[in-house]
A = this chain, B = another copy of it.
C-alpha cells in the first residue's frame, strides 16, 4: 500500500501537470481545464499538449506527452474518445503518477464502453499509474493549489475532502461551502471508477494529513467489500459522511445511465456502511450541513441536548426533530432552573427547550446559552436567537418614523445595536463552544435569507461554523455528530 499511497500523494501534490487535449477555444473543456489550472495559481510546471499550437494561454505547448522534458506527475486527458488510444499509449510511456480522464461516453453508455475503459485501466495499472474517471469533471487540492477541473470553484484551505462519483453533487457541496466561506482540502470526482478504485481513494484520504473530514457521494462501488473495509479503517480515524445515490429502484435505474455503477443491494450496503462507522444521510442539504458540522464543531460526549430559544415555535420544532432522531432533551437540573429563573421574566418556559418567550433581552439570550452550555447535563446545545434583531434593523433602515430627522440618533442606535447584538451572540456561541469543547449549533432564519450586514452570519461563517437555516437542519446535523461519537465510543469499549 505504501507505493500506491505515495503515487496518489504525488498525483494530488504534483510538481508538474500535463493536459492532453488542451485547447485554445474557450468553449472547450480542454480550454477550461488548462485555464483553471492557471487561474487557481498552481505553482508547478504546466504542459498543454496540442498538435497544432505553439502556446495556449501564454503557456508553451508540446505535440505529445512524450515530448515533454523531464517527469510529469499528473496528466489530465480531455480528448474525444477517438483520440484516447494515443493519449493512453503516451501515458503508459511517460508514467505519470496519475491520470484524470475527463473523456466520457464509455462505461456509462454501453457494454463496448465498459470493455474499452476496463482495457485502458489494465494498461494504466500495469504501468503503475493511478487514475480518476473516465466521465468525470476532474479534481482539486486546495493545499497544492491544484484545480485540474472544469468547474469554476476555487476553495479556501480547510480540512473537508469530497470524494464524489458525481461532479455536480460534489460541486453543490463546494459551491455552498464557498458561498459560506468554508474551507476545503480535496475534491475528487471519480466518475465511472474504471481506474483507481474508490476504496483506495478513500484510503488515501484517510492517510492524508490535510483531510480532517471525508464526504462521500457514491452510487455504487465496484468492489463493495473492499470499500466497506476501507470505510471501517477511515471512520475509526476521521468522520466519514456518506450520501448514497441509487437507494431504490428509481434511483438505481438513474445510476446505471449516469456512471454505469451497479447500485446493488442498497439496504444491505447502507446498513454495512453504518456498521463500519459512516454517518449516512439521504438529502443533499443534510449532507452539506453534516460535513460542515464535523469540520467546524467539537464532537458531543453523548446525546443529551439543551435547546435555548428566543421563540417558542422554533424550539418546539427543534425538540420534535431531536425526539425523532433519538436525541435526549433532559429536564433542566434544579440549580440551573433557579439560575435561569433569577435572570428571566416569569414568562420563560422553565423547561428544555429553554424558551425565553422574548424575555430577558440580549443578556437573557447570551446568559441562557452560557448557563446551559456549561451545565454537565448537556452534551451539546442548539441555540436559536441570533437574527431576532433583523426586524429592528429593518425598522431602523426603512421605517417612516426612523426616517424623521429628529430620530436620527435613535435610528443609529438601533442600526448599530441590532448588529452588535447579533455579533455578541454569535461570538458567545463560538467562544463557549471552543472553551467547553461542546458543539453549539446556531439556527436562524438569517441563513435562509442572507444578505450583507448580517454580522452574526459573518462571524459564524468566518469561524467555519455557519448558521443552520431551520431547527430541523440543526437537529439533524447534531444527530450526525452524536451518531459518530456513539460509534467511536462503541469502537473503544466493544
Given A253-B329, A313-B169, A353-B254, is A282 in contact with B400 using a C-beta cutoff of 8 Å?
A: no
Q: A348's closest neighbor in chain B, by CB?
A: B257
Interface status of A346 (Cβ within 8 A of chain B):
yes
Copies of this polypeptide in the complex: 2
Judge whether A165 and B346 touch: CB under 8 Å: no
Which residues of B are found within 8 Å of A122, using beta-carbon distances?
Answer: none
Interface status of A494 (Cβ within 8 A of chain B):
no
Most buried by B among A313, A322, A351: A313
Interface status of A217 (Cβ within 8 A of chain B):
yes
Q: How far is the CB of A145 from chain B (nearest CB, A)?
A: 14
Q: A324's closest neighbor in chain B, by CB?
A: B248
Interface status of A262 (Cβ within 8 A of chain B):
no
Given A152-B394, A400-B38, is A250 in contact with B323 using a C-beta cutoff of 8 Å?
A: yes
Interface status of A151 (Cβ within 8 A of chain B):
yes
Most buried by B among A178, A249, A316: A316
Q: How far is the CB of A138 from chain B (nearest CB, A)?
A: 13
Q: A394 vs B152: C-alpha distance in the bound complex, in angstroms?
A: 7
Residues from 307 to 342 in A contacting B, C-beta threshold 8 Å = 307, 310-324, 327-329
Q: How far is the CB of A207 from chain B (nearest CB, A)?
A: 26
Which residues of B are found within 8 Å of A164, using beta-carbon distances?
Answer: 313
Given A259-B312, A410-B26, is A470 in contact with B319 using a C-beta cutoff of 8 Å?
A: no
Judge whether B395 and A152 touch: CB under 8 Å: yes
Q: A170 vs B321: C-alpha distance in the bound complex, in angstroms?
A: 18
Interface status of A39 (Cβ within 8 A of chain B):
yes
Judge whether B152 and A245 touch: CB under 8 Å: no
Judge whether B248 and A179 touch: CB under 8 Å: no
Given A175-B449, A329-B253, is A247 in contact with B320 using a C-beta cutoff of 8 Å?
A: yes
Taking a contact as CB atoms closer than 8 A, the residue among B284, B346, B449 that contacts A179 in the complex is B449
Judge whether A448 and B179 touch: CB under 8 Å: yes
Residues from 1 to 40 in A contacting B, C-beta threshold 8 Å = 26, 35, 38-39
Judge whether B357 and A314 touch: CB under 8 Å: no
Q: A283 vs B251: C-alpha distance in the bound complex, in angstroms?
A: 23
Per-position 1/0 for A233-271, Cβ under 8 A of B: 000000000010111111101111111000000000000
Residues of A that sit less than 8 Å from B by CB? 26, 35, 38-39, 57, 104-105, 108-109, 151-153, 164-172, 175-176, 178-179, 217, 219, 243, 245-251, 253-259, 282-285, 307, 310-324, 327-329, 346-347, 349-353, 355, 357, 390-392, 394-395, 399-401, 410, 414, 445, 448-449, 469-473
